[in-house]
Chains A and B, each alone.
Chain A
Amino acid sequence: MHTLHRFTVALAAVVALTSACNSSDSTGPSAPLPVLGFSVTPTGSTSARVTFSGRSSESYDIERAEAATGTFASVKTIAVLTADGTQTYNDAGLKATTLYRYRVTSVKNGTRSASTAEATATTLAFGSAAASIATDITTSRTLFADTAYTLSGFIHVANGATLTIQPGTTIKGDYNVLGSTLMIMRGAKIQAVGTVDAPIVFTSSRPAGQRQPGDWGGLLLIGNAPDNRSGVVNIEGSGTDGTAIVSGKNYPVQYNGGTVATDNSGTLAYVRVEFGGFAPIQDQEFNSFTFAAVGSGTRASYLESLAGLDDSFEFFGGGFDLDHLVAFETADDVLDMSEGFSGRIQFVVAMSTVQLVPRTGGGFYSVDLEGIENDGCNGTGCDLGFDSAPFTIPLIANVTIIGCGQASCMGAGGGHGMMLRRGTGGYYVNSVFARWSTDGISLRDAVTYTRAGSTKTPSASADLQVRNVLFADIPKVFQDSSATQNLLDLTANSLTLSTATAASLFTAIPAVGATPTGLSAFDFSPATGSPIATGGLSTFTGAIATKAGTFVTGTAYLGAAAPGGAKWWTGWTAYARN
């Protein structure tokens, strides 16, 4: 008996230890927590959708009021939930083009929470045609201006198809289908030629006022031009739906290994991409515009990137001509080129004023915002490291790139007007950089410096030349001005650290920290007597002249706008923070 007793005690001890691991969920406080994630979106002329995050064992009361002054009345009670989850309520029977206010109250164990802050929605106008694009486009197709298109999923234009988009067409990236993106695949083409009065707009499917960077993916062109990486290299952010090629899904998209420098991916003109840049993988966002291995048969002009995550315009290998680019509120770099990009760009205006709040879970602002970030080669398949050929040698002329003006919105590693690294070359002429908190140019590494001939005064044949550039509201021109290496001679290369403020250079730009009132806040034309009205390199020589050909011409002024010239960034562009 004695033995049995001891045995039982020991067994009980083991059982007690064994069962100690079982955990139970802790219960929250009895009073309801605040209702999170509450928003309202108009879904038609007579309907709106209410969305919020619901919690188990709570019920919810949705109230609505008409117009700015109407009184709230309950429109829907959601019974006690049995599980956490996002709640949506489609409120129907509304009047068209009418403002409605909504609020939600949580009830738990008879206790009501405080109501949410009000959210508003204005119902849509009657009668516009709508179409959803949810599968890959494998035969040529035209999109029409009278139809509201919604891009739902990862839409690949493939199989040699041509996607033609009429002027004035609006295509909305579906906020509800994560990462919705348009990819023009190798061999396929896009003909999206808008006009000043009827631009083609890619934007978020959410109503104005609710849009956020990262609401949808972006526009990607994948061509067949060469780059400098070997092996299999995929578009960053692609491949999150597995490796199988399934229409509308995010399968891996290889872009390297192209062979046709003159490849043609189509024509873009007067095209805006707004609130894109969704990141399917952390730190691997799509950009507003991504050009991967795009060949010289392609032509792009008058493109605007507005409030997108990652870069406004990113280029991987290839090379083609672009002109008249606009970037407002960029989350990383305005221009980002690498892997042997050899194209030419003239006339770019870019301005950021703030760090916007991206879509929750859509990605983040970068920790290194720069104006231009150019790399030679980086990553797998750079067989000769930074010296892998072909080198990245673009010609960038007449750019006006204005940062947000404070270290606090540039990221811990950012704030360089130009970041030139990893063996990049290129010709950077007749430009203005303003309000970059760290410096004007970072020539990051020795290999990049060798592109300039490892001399402070690069010859006219050097692969890296920076000529006739003015810097304003920037602490210093080069990152480490005391270093004996990796910087260029200011005088010999006509690089000017302006004593004038950035605001004084231009006809109108908002003050640092100010919220732009709209497009009218921006006039990048030189102000009267501005130092950027002159000082340009009007005649190119040497390698720059060869590269420029007839596409890029020298100017007597610096920046993207001729004194008294056309304000080409108006009419077809938009400025909005949400």
Chain B
Amino acid sequence: MRRFAVITLLFTILFGAPSAAISQARSTGRIVGRVVDVATGQGVTDAGVQVVGTAIGVLSGIDGRYTINAVATGTVTLQVRRIGYAPKQVTGIFLEAGKTVEQNISIANAAITLTAVSVTASAEKGTVSEATDQQKNSISVVSTITAEQIAKSPDGDAAQTVKRVSGVTVQDGKYVFVRGLGERYTTSSLNGARVPSPEPERRVVPLDMFPAGLLQTITTTKTFTPDQQGDFSGALVDIKTKEFPAKRSASVQLGSGYASGATGSSLFSATGVGGEPFAMVKHDRDMPPLIRSITDFQHLTLTQADMNLLASSFRNAWTPKTGTGAPLLNGSASFGGNDPILFGHRLGYLISATMSSGTDVKDDQVRALADRGNTKGSTVELDRFTGSTVSQGVLWGGLTNLSTYIGTNNRISFNGLYNRGSDNDARVETGTLSSDGIRAKITRMQYVERAVYSGQLSGEHQITVAQKFDWAATSSGVRRYEPDRSEFVQAIEKGASGSDVLRWVNGGSGGAVRTFSDLRESNHEYRGTYQLEIGPTSGMSTIRIGGLFRSTTRDAQSLSFAIAARGLDNSQRALLPEQIFDGRFATATSNIFSIGPLSQGGSYTARDEISAGFAMAEVPVGRRVRVIGGARYESDRLEVDAFSTLGSPVRTAKLWNDLLPSLAVNFKISETQQLRISASRTLARPEYRELSPIISRDVVGGENVQGDENLQRTNVNNADIRWELYPRSGEVISLAVFAKQFVNPIERVYGAGSGGTSFVFFTNAKSADNYGVEVELRKDLDAFGKFFTPFTFFTNATVMQSQIHLDPSSQAASTNFNRRMVGQAPYVLNTGLTYSSHTGASTATLLFNRVGERLTAAGSSPLPDVIEQPRNVLDLSLRWALSPFVTVRTDLKNLLDTPHEISQGSVIRESYNGGRTIQAGVLWRP
């Protein structure tokens, strides 16, 4: 078992923007911010914001935004007034010459009695309160994580961050699922627009694609409103990238790391052709031109000379090299501001780039199959392989955000994002292939490159005080490129001296395999929403009408080729693969190699067009009740063309029209207590891959996975009741009960073939019922005495019950009848304790996470179901301020190092140790 200690030093150099004040008088500064309604969280336009004691003032514009220029330096007080709202003063804003201060101001409806009319700006506790405010004021059940919380946590990317949300689970460090539902029932979006997934079998975007440094907020919405996309079925995770800063600033951060367990030890690692460390691999990994030129292997008669040429055309790389793990590196740079650079017009801008790389080792990796034992219900282990995987990863990306106002009532923004990452893996494992009766060593090298881009142009227009229109046009795309995966299998046989000898498994279809995969998807999405407010400010109703059109195209291909050899003797089989394929067996007279494509592969293309329209209204009933109701209509026209290697194309055309109503009632019991009741209908559509009846297989001896063109989409009926108490700013206690009924849920199940062969396929179960309770608590501990004042305790827990219903005549009937829905866990627990010094400069956060036994696949009867076992994960993150300019950070992750484990009955199907991680760094902020 290898433990990692990764020490990271972060050097942060902040350019103090020396030229920042060129356009501004030395003795004045600037104040920017938003005026928001305390009840709804919406921006309030036409509010007067005035600097007390001066004549300087402005009216807030779109989304409640305001900018006051040329404010005399010193301590400033702002006053906000608007008809229908209680006036509010914000004191203690300290303004330095040439600098900009950002100050958001919330104002309350005049009908609500206010206990305080003014707050001190410096006392605002920052974005945690902002998060709970957003949660409190949202019309649906949401959880928000802000940039500040992200910075406090040891999280490096969006996936690690989002698991801090109640009811959220993150699988494989990438895939988010909410309330224990499978990731199929969670959708993700980037700045409100759908992001295509680079994973062939999933619709969810791996959130580790988004470095934490680029994130502003991650919002998890668990109840449906008609303005959200209909395939929101369990939850929507929206990632908002950072907006521009109020004042000009630039920063560069560089880091380096040392991996104690890897450096200097004999670590094997995947070989490369160049470019892998930058996720921009050279063409040497491309499919060899000779292989690529053959479009139809099965109708050609290859001569021995042809096969010799083809077998020799692959890159002769099969064995990982030994070496030392690459040092951990990370860095980021950003530059932003809000300056009159567009012909004197103010343009907000943020340009940010980030990169990280490192070596990751999965040790004590076990995989095995489960077979039923000879007594009813028992399981025995089969084909157990043990080994380890060394993965060299890199992730880099950048974003450009531009935003400008036209007048005060129109805002136009551009948001561009590009992320690219790669994993270069080598996996070596030994075990038994029971069907063939041999012990074997499998060596695999795999390189995967992923890239996501998104460009969004959006606008917000305050047409009148009561009317608003916003729109967005988004173009996004994704590529998953996996060139030249190699697998080489050697039998472990007894040599003449009785010792083990490795000899190539030169027969069959799996002894030497090369695989080339490529997936591209592009999305174009256009949406617009018109909002009208009617009625008096004290009882204003909001009507929203909008539409969306999205078109998606996907092109995916995966081709595998196997090389077999005839007539090799034992000494020849014992050669290294690089010797076997060096040409010695491919001479003009050689009669040894044969090569062929494997049927596990093929290609598919998908075209998907979704048109949607919605109408919804938010109507106050009396002073305490708000009713939000409406409906969304979605029409999805989907075509998938699948071409299996077998060559018989299957076309699937679907037209799904759905009306998705939703009704929510929010009850304001008191100023601090709220009750929400909601009911809605949503849907989940099958992934394109699942509709393609082609076969894929990940690993030698692994499972064949096959799609089914007859899959139907799933309809989900949802009901939620949630009580919330907000005792103080930044504190929350909530209790929720939810119920979901799934009609035609899609399940991943095992099918059986003669001779013990099996395969994984996707099928619709008849229905499933889910019920659950969700508790959330965030509480300052000052009630326990002065000593506890700096501490905040928070926890969220979800407990769920799920039951599947199967049609006995369907293929799914070969699975167990009495079980949870596939993907479902019985509980999810997140809890933690935060220490925050009086100034907020030093913090410590202890986080604990545990997910109940999650059903990853239904067992085929009489085998039990496949369960991902609970894991205790404990992380500690420390920030302490050595001086006002220097902060030291230490992150200890996965302190308990509980192994990842997937089991089936008594058999451990998969397990590995991720290892502990320690990172330390210094942050310098002049």
Q: Spell out A's residues near B (CB within 8 Å).
A: 2-4, 6-7, 10-11, 13-14, 17-18, 20-21, 23, 25-26, 28, 33-34, 36-39, 51-56, 84-86, 117, 175-176, 178-179, 210, 212, 229-244, 249-250, 252, 255, 279-284, 292, 314, 316, 336, 338-339, 354-355, 357-368, 375, 378-387, 407-409, 411-414, 419, 423, 442, 444, 447
Contacts and interface: CB of A to CB of B under 8 A. Distances in A.
B566 A355 contact: yes
B862 A84 contact: no
A447 B374 contact: yes
Interface stretch (B95-103, B152-160, B703-711, B718-726): B703-711
B306 A37 contact: yes
Nearest to B757: A236
A281 B811 contact: no
22 contacts: A7-B349, A11-B400, A26-B289, A28-B289, A37-B302, A39-B300, A231-B860, A231-B861, A234-B751, A240-B599, A280-B599, A282-B599, A283-B508, A284-B753, A360-B301, A360-B594, A364-B508, A364-B596, A365-B564, A379-B753, A384-B372, A385-B375
Interface of B: 19, 22, 248, 280, 283, 286, 289-290, 292-307, 309-310, 335, 337, 339, 341, 349, 351, 353, 371-376, 378, 380, 396, 398-400, 416, 418, 420, 433, 435-438, 451, 453, 479, 491, 493, 503, 505-511, 562, 564, 566-570, 573, 594-600, 644-648, 650, 693, 695, 697, 704, 706, 708-710, 750-759, 811, 813-814, 860-863
Of A53, A235, A409, most B-chain CB atoms within 10 Å: A53
Nearest to B642: A242
Given A338-B755, A413-B491, A385 B283 contact: no
A252 B376 CA distance: 28
Contact of B754 (A236, A249, A407): A236
B710 A242 contact: yes
Given A380-B861, A412-B438, A447-B374, A361 B298 contact: yes
Nearest to B694: A240
A412 to B, nearest CB: 4
Nearest to B418: A18
Contacts of A252: 751
A205 to B, nearest CB: 12
Contact of A282 (B289, B438, B704, B756): B704
A284 to B, nearest CB: 6
- For the complex, would chain B's binding face be called helix, strand, loop or mixed by DSSP majority? mixed
Given A233-B754, A366-B508, A36 B290 contact: yes
A266 B295 CA distance: 41
A250 B650 CA distance: 12
A400 to B, nearest CB: 24
A4 B400 contact: no
Contacts of B303: 38, 117
Nearest to A290: B754
B341 A4 contact: yes
B296 A365 contact: no
B172 to A, nearest CB: 24
Contacts of A283: 508-510, 757
Nearest to A52: B300
B335 A53 contact: no
Contacts of A362: 298, 596
A413 B438 contact: yes
Given A28-B289, A412-B506, A385 B646 contact: no
A258 to B, nearest CB: 13
B506 to A, nearest CB: 7
Contact of B306 (A36, A255, A444): A36
Given A282-B598, A282-B697, A355-B567, A412 B507 contact: yes
The 9 closest A-B CB pairs, nearest first, are A37-B300, A378-B756, A379-B756, A413-B436, A380-B752, A367-B508, A39-B301, A231-B814, A361-B298
Contact of A240 (B418, B564, B570, B644): B644
A360 B302 contact: yes
Contacts of A339: 754
A368 B437 CA distance: 8
Given A14-B353, A178-B298, 19 more contacts: A17-B418, A36-B290, A37-B306, A235-B753, A235-B754, A240-B644, A241-B693, A357-B566, A361-B297, A365-B508, A368-B435, A380-B814, A380-B863, A381-B861, A383-B861, A384-B375, A411-B436, A412-B507, A413-B436
A292 B301 CA distance: 32
Contact of A7 (B351, B505, B569, B570): B351
B648 A21 contact: no
Nearest to A354: B566
A243 B710 contact: yes
A335 B442 CA distance: 30
A360 B597 CA distance: 7
A23 B562 CA distance: 27
A414 B301 CA distance: 28
Contact of A236 (B306, B309, B708, B755): B755
A235 B750 CA distance: 15
Given A7-B351, A37-B300, A242-B708, A366 B814 contact: no
B299 A229 contact: no
Nearest to A293: B754
A316 B755 contact: yes
A242 to B, nearest CB: 4
Nearest to A241: B648
A379 B758 contact: yes
Given A7-B351, A37-B302, A379-B756, A84 B292 contact: yes
Contacts of A4: 341
Contacts of A239: 706, 751
Contacts of B376: 383-384
Given A385-B374, A408-B569, A210 B437 contact: no
B814 A232 contact: yes
B291 to A, nearest CB: 10
Contacts of A338: 755-756
B298 A3 contact: no
B19 A233 contact: no
A26 B289 CA distance: 9
Contacts of B373: 385
Contacts of B511: 367
A284 B95 CA distance: 75
Contact of B811 (A243, A244, A316, A366): A243
Nearest to B568: A408
Contacts of A240: 599, 644, 646, 648, 693, 695
A2 B309 contact: no
Nearest to B377: A383
Given A14-B400, A409-B567, A179 B596 contact: no
A384 B861 CA distance: 11
Contact of A84 (B295, B697, B861): B295
Contact of A85 (B295, B371, B752): B295
A13 B353 CA distance: 9
Nearest to B508: A367
A294 B756 CA distance: 18
A412 B504 CA distance: 8
Nearest to A36: B306
Contacts of A26: 283, 286, 289
B437 A413 contact: yes
Contact of A233 (B305, B568, B753): B753
